[in-house]
Amino acid sequence: MTVAHGFQATMTALPGKGDRLVELLLDAPSLPHEDCLVFLVARSATAPDTVHVTEGWTSSEAHAAFFATAEAASLVAQLQPLLSGEPEYSDAIPVGGKAAF
């Protein structure tokens, strides 16, 4: 499979809520989803309540279909009260790279 659609999100948690935000994201229902090929969660080195998420999907349609599910809505509902504002999103068309853990 090839990553044809991606995006990056930056979320800022309320003070002290960064750990819970990361915990929820690392247990996201998109991780085992077959069309989600990249799902990386990172924290800012200087602002621990700032969290970055990078996702890569097989298509924008697969991404939209997943985010229309009850599972995705439940995750978003759990994340919202932890955030100090609206997440910042930028779309991306992946062209290559590597992620190894």
Q: What is the CATH number of the domain that holds 57?
A: 3.30.70.100
Asked whether residue 70 is domain-assigned, the answer is: yes
Domain count, the chain: 1
* 31 found inside a domain: yes
Which stretches of the chain score pLDDT less than 70? 100
**DSSP string for 30-82:** TTT-TTEEEEEEEE-SS-TTEEEEEEEES-HHHHHHHHTSHHHHHHHHHHGGG
Q: How confident is the model at residue 54, as a pLDDT? A: 94
Which residues form the domain of 59? 5-90
In this predicted model, what pLDDT tens digit does every residue of 41-61 receive, in sequence order?
999 999 999 999 999 999 999
